[in-house]
Structure formats: C-alpha cells, structure tokens
Amino acid sequence: MCVPASAADRIFLNGRIVTMDPNFTIVSALAVEGARVLATGDAAAMLALADTDSVVEDLDGQMMLPGLIDSHLHPDQASVSEFDHPIPAMLTVTDVMDYVRSRAQVLPEGEWIWVRTVLTPRLRERRYPTRAELDQAAPRHPVIFAPYIYYPKASLNSLALERLGIDREFESETPADIERDPTTGEPTGLVRNHTRYVDDPGEVDRTNDSERVEAVRNLMGIYNSVGLTTVSDRKATPISIKVYEELAAQDALTARLSLMHLLDTSPGRDVEEIVADILALGQLREQINHPMLDLIGVKTFIDGGITSGTAYMLEPWGESDRFAILDPLYRGNLVLSGDRLERLIRASANAGLQFTGHVVGDAAITELVRAYGAVIRETPIRHLRPSLTHANFIPEQVIGQMAEWGIVADIQPAWLYLDSNNLLDQWDENRLRHFQPLKSLFDAGVLVAGGSDHWHRLDSHSATNPFNPFLGMWITLKRVPRYVDRAVNEDQVLTREQALRLYTTNGAYLLFREEQVGSLEPGKYADMIVVDRDILESNLDDIRDTRVLRTYVNGELVYDAGSEQ
C-alpha cells in the first residue's frame, strides 16, 4: 500500500461506504484531507493517516455515498417560483379549486388569478378545471388556468371570459379556438391558443437582483438536503449567470453548477447570428473560471413535450381532446432540423462547447442523432459529449448509433412515474416500448445521466418536476407508474448499481467532472452524503423515501438533518 505523505483532517469509520469506483467497491472507512478524498479502505488503514488534529467520525453502520448529481434543472427559475406565496401541490381538480379559493381570499376583487405549471395530464382526473368549477372557487375574480404560455389550451371562468369579450357572438381567429356548448353556443371556458386572446405575460418574476441571489442560495441548500452536490442548469441565460457568478464570488455556492447556455434559435434569426452567439459563448466559457461554476455548452429546442402533446413523433399522436389534437395526421412540433441544426452543432464543436437538444419524441431524437452523425463525418465531436436532453422515446436503431458516436443522454426518470398513465391512455403498451429504455442504453454502453428538469416549486417530491434523486432511482428499479397497477417495460428495470450510476459517475461524465466528483476515490473532491438506510439492501419501495442525514461538499458539512429539527 502506498502511504500518502499528508495527514487526514477527517476520518469516517464503521460505515458502509459505496465508493462508486469502476469496481463498485464498498469500504468501511474514508479519509479526507482539505477538500479532497485522501484514501478509502478499512479503519486500521485510515487511522494510520491520522495525526493529533484529525477529527474521527463514527458512521455507526450508516451508508455513505458520493454526493449526488442532477444533470438537468433550472435553479434560477425554480428558486423564485414561490417568492410571492407558497404554492401547494395540486394533484386533483379539487386541489386546484382550493388553491384558486385561497388566492381569491387574499387578492382584491376583480384582480386576475393565474394558475400556472399545473400540467393537466398529471392531474388525477387528467382534465382541465371547468368554467363552473372556477366560478365556484372565485366568483368575483377573473381566473385563468394555463399550464404554460404555449400549452394547447387554457381554462377560463365566467368573469375572465366577460373581461375578454368572449361570448356567444365572439368571432375567434379559427372556430376551434373557442370551445362552445353544442346546443347553446355558449363558450365552455376552454380556449385553444389562448395567447391570441389573452395577454399572457408568462411567469412573472417580481424579485430584484439581491433577492434572486438569496433565492438561489436557499435553493442550493434545499438541493444539498436531498443529497445533491453537483447540478446542471440546462438552460442558463445571461440573467441567471449573473446570479451564479455573484454566489461563486461570495463562496456561497454549496453545489457545483455546470451551465448549458440557451441558444435563441427563433425561426426569424439568421443562422449566422446564432453561430456568432455560439462563438461568443465559447469566449464566455473561458471567463467563468471557478471550481464550483463552469459553462460547458449550449442547449437548443428541437421539439415539444409529452405533457403538452407536442413532442415530435414518428407516428401520428392521434386525435385527443386533452391535448387539443384535431388533425389525425398531426405528429407534433419540430422547431429545428436539417442543415440549420448541423451548422449549430458544427459551430459548437469549433467553440469547444457541448451541444444538446431538447428532444422528447422519437422523430426528434432520430433527427438530432442523424445531424450528429452528419457532423461527425467531418468534425470530431465525441470528446465534447454530444447530448440528448430528455430523450424519452429512443428507437432501437438509434441506441446503436448513440453507442457508436459517443452520444450521451440526460433523462428524467420521474416522468416515467408521472406521465406513463396518460401516455398509456393516449397510445398503447406497444408504443411505450421505447419509453426510457434505460436497460437497453446501459447494455449498449450508452452513457445516461439522471436529472429532474426541476423548474417550479421547492418540495423535492411534489415540485414540477420532482427533484428528489431517490424518487428518480426508485422508479428505474420498479417502472410501476403512478395510478398504474403494473410495470411499464419491466425488462428495462435497472440494477441498484446502475440506478446509482445515473446520479453519480454518469452525471459527472455528462458534465465533464468525472475527474472531480461522482465517486469517492483518492484525489476527488470530498463531496459525500450519509443516508438513513441501506439502499442496496432495503426493500425496493423504501428507496424512494430515503432521507439524507448529512451532506458534505469539499469536505465541509453543508447540511445536517439533525440540526434542522
């Protein structure tokens, strides 16, 4: 054994320490020096590294893991989402009505009540609240229920319709925009393309600069409390970067943060303008130089989503009232493709930036992988870890191409839990064959990282989207979705080791941090967590409720459940 020259500052003994090294080694003791892991092994070997100042901590049999990694979230947006008032979890239409009622009690009569980010397909009833229900909850306030600005429909109450002049005689841009009672012709309250008729400001952020900094600092603490020590903002903007840089300058980032910068690829923009943006981001990357904060790449949107019925699919979506799909041949939205897409991938490679595209549907994934393949023939990009974001429906032949070209994926396991029941209703079991084919990806040697896409509310289990990594791990081991009594593609369940890889070593690789974090090995940062159960031995269903007892970043305690009680 080679004995390090320096002494340990802190030694952990009597643990079940899952190192996540390539051999999945489990040890009982670990030594930290400064911000880094000094050594791992047994008690005798670690105590040999002690000097008189070393702090020795008895783990008392508890499990220690490397700090967990979330490959995809939106900290700036999420951090201020409850700034005005706490927003409850809304699982049913009744919950939505209760929330509207509570807003009506505090807002002056006549003021608009907006209900956002409640994704209709995730409500128990999987329908919009009706005009009558919203009237009942808030008769004297105009109410609009609009999951996001570009969602297919919004639901309005009577006062909102009256304010907008939407009545029996109202002439809409297209007749289908305003749903009407077939016998009376009276608007039902459901409005398609609502931004044609309502000035929808989107989510409004009422915070000032210092409040934003404080909000993100607070959120990083919440991330630490569920075991996250490295995270990625997959849609950073100049505004959020300013906040993150401020926190880094104050030494107040308690989770490592890797940024993917959003590209503005609006159809009206010339591709040369976007290429110039990419070059400028390549330079910005050089300027952000902090061990806790870096800019690693660019993100684009290629298609829509599964909860809005806009993911770009190989087969038609099929008519749907919930998704407001009237055209039987509709396959979803493709917003970036072909030569334009290839140009942007090439420009990112030239700027030394990772490229990722938001791709949910199988047709969008096929198109982005095709574009990577076309670029790879002339420009090497494997070292930049070309990525698919979301990658929900991956056709089999594409998995082979991903393996061949080194394409990695950032996947949201919680969607398997939350969205399968709705997709099973819209389609069938057969069509869900390729929904998050995690086992096939692992078997093919494709690197997949686990992420949440957290962007609204702060509760780790009920936020949109839930960011509790143990919920994410658990569903990959089980694949039994909410409100469904059987597994979706049981042959795609992962092993416990693989589930852990999603949130440790694989996340580290996606974010170019595999030399720093993801496993507890000598020389890596001492980012680690202690949890309240043995997730390798416990009942499968207990894993989702795992609680983090302590979280360390750079060898320092940043969260202690004991001190919170």
- The footprint of Zn ion (CB under 5 A) covers 453
Q: CA-CA distance, 97 to 146, in Å (whole number)?
A: 14
Of the pair 453, 527, the CB lying nearest Zn ion is at 453
Q: How many CB atoms lie within 10 A of CB 210?
A: 10
**Least distance (Å) between residue 72 CB and Zn ion:** 6
**Least distance (Å) between residue 498 CB and Zn ion:** 23
**Least distance (Å) between residue 21 CB and Zn ion:** 31
Q: CA-CA distance, 552 to 8, in Å (whole number)?
A: 16
Please, what is the end-to-end C-alpha distance for the chain in angstroms?
A: 43
Of the pair 33, 453, the CB lying nearest Zn ion is at 453
**Least distance (Å) between residue 497 CB and Zn ion:** 27
Query: Shortest CA distance to 402 belongs to which of 353, 441, 348?
Result: 441
Of the pair 342, 453, the CB lying nearest Zn ion is at 453
**Least distance (Å) between residue 455 CB and Zn ion:** 6
Query: Shortest CA distance to 167 belongs to which of 177, 180, 155, 176?
Result: 180
Instruction: Write the DSSP string, 178-201.
Output: EEE-TTT--EEEEEESGGGTS---
- On the CB side of 366, CA atoms within 13 Å amount to 14
**Least distance (Å) between residue 74 CB and Zn ion:** 6
Of the pair 281, 360, the CB lying nearest Zn ion is at 360
**Least distance (Å) between residue 235 CB and Zn ion:** 6
Q: Report whether 510 contacts 408 (CB < 8 A).
A: yes
**Least distance (Å) between residue 76 CB and Zn ion:** 12
Of the pair 161, 394, the CB lying nearest Zn ion is at 394
**Least distance (Å) between residue 390 CB and Zn ion:** 8
Q: What are the DSSP E strand ranges found in 270-376? A: 293-301, 354-359
Of the pair 305, 406, the CB lying nearest Zn ion is at 305
184, burial (CB in 10 Å: exposed 0-12, middle 13-18, buried 19+) = exposed
Distance of alpha carbon 167 from the chain centroid = 40
Q: CA-CA distance, 184 to 448, in Å (whole number)?
A: 53
**Least distance (Å) between residue 70 CB and Zn ion:** 11
Distance of alpha carbon 201 from the chain centroid = 23
Of the pair 179, 453, the CB lying nearest Zn ion is at 453
Pairing of strands 50-58, 8-13: parallel
Of the pair 17, 118, the CB lying nearest Zn ion is at 118
Run of H or E residues at 240: helix 238-249
3-class SS at 226?
Answer: coil
Q: CA-CA distance, 171 to 93, in Å (whole number)?
A: 30
Shortest-Cβ-distance residue relative to Zn ion: 453
Q: CA-CA distance, 143 to 455, in Å (whole number)?
A: 23
CA distances from 486 to 61, 392, 435, 490 (A): 35, 19, 15, 9
